Amino acid sequence: MAFAARDERTTTMTDTATINDRPGQQHAIVTPQLSCDGCGVCCLHMAVPPFDTSEIDMLPAEILEDFEAVSETRRLQYAAHGTDYTPCGWLNMVTRQCRHYEHRPEVCRDFEVGSTPCVGMRTDAGFAV
Ligand code: SF4
Ligand code: SF4
């Protein structure tokens, strides 16, 4: 899941298809040439940054404030529409980059670009693989 930093990374990003299987799950890298630049597909249905509770406690105050604002927005959306199946509130939909890449959750860091779920999600979204 961004890219001042994102296209420099060789691993990371979240994955809605396997989010419940992680952290710790490893996937084979099947398409090593992929770049996250301009993608962000794996962040599109996260609603909120998928932090573990212990990670939230470590966030700097201004980042925590943004996380809480995003969470409240999504909570209201869920109350109004019955779904929070929306892009992560930290995803910049113009740049397709994480707005707080350096503070992204561990599960986002663990998601591997070029892995099977990455390729699957890009394929479903019509991105080149
Ligand atoms: S926190 Fe950042 S990297 Fe993680 S899902 Fe949200 S936008 Fe993507
Ligand atoms: S779907 Fe793959 S290429 Fe796209 S942002 Fe996520 S990890 Fe990067």
Q: pLDDT tens digits for 54-81?
A: 999 999 999 999 999 999 999 999 999 9
**What is the distance in A from the centroid of ligand 2 to the CA of 1?**
6
Which domain covers residue 83, as residue numbers?
A: 6-124
**What is the distance in A from the centroid of ligand 2 to the CA of 41?**
6
- Angle at CA 120, nearest 5°, toward 106 and 93? 60
Is residue 109 one of the residues assigned to a domain?
yes
What is the DSSP annotation of 67-112?
HHHHHHHHHHHHHHHS---S--TTEETTTTEETTGGG--HHHHHPP
Mutate to test the pocket of ligand 1, among 9, 16, 19, 43 (most ligand atoms within 8 A of CB): 43
Instruction: Please answer whether residues 55 and 97 qualify as being in contact, where contact means their C-beta atoms are separated by less than 8 angstroms.
Output: no
Query: What residues contact 72, with CB distance under 8 A and at least 6 apart?
Result: none
Is residue 1 one of the residues assigned to a domain?
no
Give the model confidence (pLDDT) of 90-127 as tens digits: 999 999 999 999 999 999 999 999 999 999 999 999 99
- Shortest-distance Cα residue to atom 7 of ligand 2: 113
- pTM: predicted TM-score of the whole model, two decimal places: 0.82
DSSP 29: B
**What is the distance in A from the centroid of ligand 2 to the CA of 71?**
23
Is residue 129 one of the residues assigned to a domain?
no
Is residue 63 one of the residues assigned to a domain?
yes
Is residue 20 one of the residues assigned to a domain?
yes
**Number of domains observed in the structure of the chain:** 1
